[in-house]
Chains A and B, each alone.
Chain A
Amino acid sequence: MNLHEQFTAFKTLLTKEVLRFMRIWVQTVLPAAITTGLYFVIFGKMIGSQLNDISGYSYMDYIVPGIILMAIINNSYANVVSSFYSAKFQHHVEEMLVSPMPNYLILLGFVGGGVLRGLVVGLAVTAVSLFFTEPGTFNIAITLVVVILTAVLFSLAGFLNAVFANSFDDISIIPTFVLAPLTYLGGIFYSIDMLPEFWQQVSLLNPIMYMINAMRYGMLGVSDIDVSHALLMIILFVAVLFAFSLYLLNKGVGIRS
């Protein structure tokens, strides 16, 4: 395949992925907007109004970056894990496997779909947040870089989950028992400075904590950790997960016997 043909193949898969989640937007986009709207009402408005400012920001302003990023993480992950696992389960991944489309484009197509769903949901949640506060714009470039890299990272994680999954149970175990605890304990609703020393050190082992703080820095200019350190960590994770995913695709793990 020449470059033009490769681009056409990638565009075909990406368009298919976007149409898939847009066709069922009531299941894929709307729930995140409603859930996060409830977070803003209950935690931001009702409970937050009773709390002191954190790092010079109201509680509502403080939790907005983490809530937007949480929605992006969950939806990027969910999109790829369900789409690729369905393609495996119904065997229509074979449509791509028999074609001359290189494996890296198959991976990029699925990841691209996850990233775009993450961005669409992120925009929807940001729009909901406008009813409660004005989202911070301290450094838009950093905010966009964090959003995109985080969406790529969790799309890749969703892909890996789908590769190893053998049943629909397998695609819900990781989000429920790993992703959700790490996200909620990643400092969305609090600063790690509020924790005892021991738990502060434990929190530093949570990769999602770095992403949420980098996002908070981009929007508000405050962070519990060094932002360049956080960005480097996200980039490293993306590189490792991309290389591992491509290796598995080339080997045919989970899709070729």
Chain B
Amino acid sequence: MKDILKPTFVLLITAMVASALLAVVYEKTSPEIEKRAKEKLLDNLKTVFPVEGAEYKPIIKDTLWCVEKDGKRLGIIFVNGMRGYASVIKVIVGVDTTGKIVGVHIPKEGLSETPGLGMKVTEPWFMEQFKGKREEEVKLKKDGGTLDAITAATISSRAATNAVRSGMEKYKKYLKEEEKSENEWYHKHLSEFFPDAEIEECGNNFWVAVKDNETLGSIYLSYGEGYGGKFGVLVAVKDGKIKDIYIQSPDEGFPETQEFGCKVREHTYLKKFIGISPDEAGKIDDVTGATITSEAVKKAVVSGYKRVGGE
């Protein structure tokens, strides 16, 4: 008996003391570690888009920011990665509203390209040459573009260049002000809710469906803040109950993850909304694995209804 109890006890004490010690150290160092990470990020954002007094607002977490000053959009900053020779080359790129690159930064941290060859993508001369270039110009000279490759490190140079170009392609729609870029997507859905009716705009993101001088119902647009960013929800209301609901599709800029967040767009979930009063949307169950997104949808439905003042 003693042979079992004593070692157990000793091991228990050892583990407890060790974890207590680590908890204390973690408590002390973790705020500092987080602060470092934030400072570093802001530093990087400032390097690629240096504007005095500008604000860097995140659009997609850790991936996309817009740069604003006095409420005016000056451009965007994105992070994009591309497989290099030995690691993923991460680029941070600032683009102004005319589609020209303001600055490119390739952080050394976490990069394990060959020292002295691929690692040279982090040298200032390489990053400088992107400045002022447009999307179609961002190619190596040997690929018909305007940029010099690093001698003996073509794979790394090409990966960095492609990361910049594909990011510009992917995020260029965010260069325009939000109102303009979002204007298109919901218009074509408005008529789907009330097929035969005329849709009349009644102020900010609120429409009324009219047929033969009779009001059939109303539609409002509301925004939710999900896991990956902002998305729009269209709600059609008839006789105080939800008639139908539509959530922006990924093609239309729905920012949530395909495997989880996108489940809120499935009919099995959306049909739970139909037939209830928008006030009561908060009671609906969340989609497993997409709690944040589900909550965002419900909040959008409720808050939008409040905004338009009920029916």
Chains A and B come from one and the same complex: no
